[in-house]
Homo-oligomer: A and B are copies of this chain.
C-alpha cells in the first residue's frame, strides 16, 4: 500500500512500531455480512503483532477468524494540522495455544466487555506503514 496520500511524509517501520507500542486504542476494519465495518478496540503489541479481545459469539469475533484485516492507530491535532497514522494489515486469528493465551492475558488488555467470555485475537503485522500528516500550513 504505497502512497494512498500525497503531501504526507512516510514513516519508516521503526517509527510505525514505536507508535504502535505507545497507543492503547486502535480501529480494526473487518467485513460483517458483506459490509465494511470499523470498530475501536483496546489493544497491545505482542511480538510485534496486534492483540485485542473479542467476546465469544459476537459478529466481531466471527469476522476476525482467519481474515485479512486492517488495523489503524492515529493521533491528529486538527487545530495544529499535525499528526500521524499507522496502518497494519495482516491475517487475524484467535490465540488458542495455552502458553500464548497466558502471555496475551498478561498484557493487561481491557476488553470493554463486562462478564463475557473473551477471546484473544492476534493480527499478524505483515504489512506496517505510516504517514505523518503535515498540513499546508
Contact = CB atoms under 8 A, between A and B. Distances in A.
Nearest to A60: B4
28 contacts: A1-B32, A1-B33, A1-B35, A3-B59, A4-B58, A4-B60, A4-B63, A5-B60, A5-B113, A6-B55, A7-B114, A7-B115, A7-B116, A24-B78, A25-B78, A36-B68, A36-B69, A39-B87, A40-B72, A40-B83, A40-B133, A81-B110, A111-B136, A112-B135, A112-B136, A113-B136, A114-B135, A115-B136
Interface residues of A, number: 54
Number of this chain's copies in the complex: 2
A39 B4 contact: yes
A46 interface: no
A127 B32 CA distance: 13
Contacts of A76: 25, 40, 42
